[in-house]
A and B are shown apart, each in its own frame.
Chain A
Amino acid sequence: MASCPHILDCPLFAVFTMNAALAIWKINYCGSDHSRCVRYQLTAGGKEVPQNLLPNGKVLHLTPLPSR
C-alpha cells in the first residue's frame, strides 16, 4: 500500500520520528491506511488542519508546533 503523500511535509511526521515509541503512529497511519488519519481527511476536504491534531482525532495542547 502506498504511503501518505503528506509524509514529506506533515509536521507531525517529524515529531513521530523523534522517539522510537512514537513510530507506531507512522506504521499505523502514515505508512499504511492513511485514509483513517483525520489530518489527511481534513486536507482532502480542503479544510485547515490544527497544528496539534493527532491522526486519531485527539488534540495535544502543549507547546504548539511551529506553523508555516
Chain B
Amino acid sequence: MPWWIAAAALGAVTVGHWLALRRPLGVSGILGRFAAFREERERERGAAAARSDGAALEALLAATAEAALAGDLGAAGPAPSGGGSGRLPAPLPPLSAQGAFLAALVAGGLLARALAGGPSLEAGVPGPLAARLGEGGALLALLGGGALVGFGSAACGGCTAGHGLTGCARLSPGSLVATAAFFGAAIATSLLLGRIS
C-alpha cells in the first residue's frame, strides 16, 4: 500500500472514530480493560445496576432541581463550547463493543493477509532479532518488549494511536511530548539493537 493511501486511511479512521463515537481513537486503553477483564466486567455490571436504580435516579433528579434553584446550574457564563451537550465526548463504550473493535483489528489483518496471498500461519521469530539474540533471546525480547509496551502505554496514557495520531492531531501537549519520547526511545533502542552482532 503506498504511504499516502495509508496516511489518508489512518487519518480518516482517526477523525471518523471521533465523529462517529464521540471518543478519541485509542487502543492501549481498550486492551488494558481486557487485561483486567473480570474487574472491568464487574464494574460495568455495577454501573448498569446503578443506572437502573430508580431510587438513585430520583435522588439525582432531586439534587439537580436543588442545584438549579441554588444557582449552581446557571452560572456557566458564556455559552459552553459546542452550544450544548451534543458535542461533548460520549461515556465509555461497553466492553462488548470495544471487544468488537479488537476483533475487527484481527479481522483486518486476516483480510489483508488473505488478499496479499501470503501464508495463513507464520511461525518463528523475526529474522534479524533471532540473528542477534538467538531464538530464546528473541522470544524474551518479544515478551519483554510487549510488557514494556503494555506498562508504558498505561503509564503515559496512550499508544501510537492514542497519543501519536489522535493526541498530536489535537496538538495536545501531553501527546506531543509522549510521541516525541516514544519515537526517541524506539529509535535509540533500535540503533542499539543494531550494534549487537
Contacts and interface: CB of A to CB of B under 8 A. Distances in A.
Contacts of B109: none
Interface stretch (B1-9, B49-57, B99-107, B143-151): B49-57
A56 B67 contact: yes
B78 interface: yes
B127 interface: no
Contact of B50 (A23, A28, A55, A65): A65
Contacts of A60: 56, 59-60, 63
**Interface residues on chain A, size class:** 35 or more
A10 B81 CA distance: 19
Contacts of B78: 1, 32
Interface in B40-85: 42-43, 46-47, 49-51, 53, 55-57, 59-61, 63-64, 66-68, 70, 72-78, 80-82, 84-85
Contacts of A22: 60-61, 64
Contact of A54 (B49, B67, B75, B80): B67
A59 B50 CA distance: 15
Given A7-B88, A27-B76, A60-B56, 8 more contacts: A8-B23, A14-B47, A15-B51, A21-B61, A28-B80, A31-B85, A63-B56, A68-B43
Nearest to A2: B81
B164 interface: no
A64 to B, nearest CB: 8
Nearest to B79: A32
B89 A7 contact: yes
B77 A32 contact: yes
Nearest to B24: A8
Given A3-B81, A19-B61, A56-B67, A25 B73 contact: yes
A33 B88 contact: no
B160 to A, nearest CB: 18
B90 A17 contact: yes
A58 interface: yes
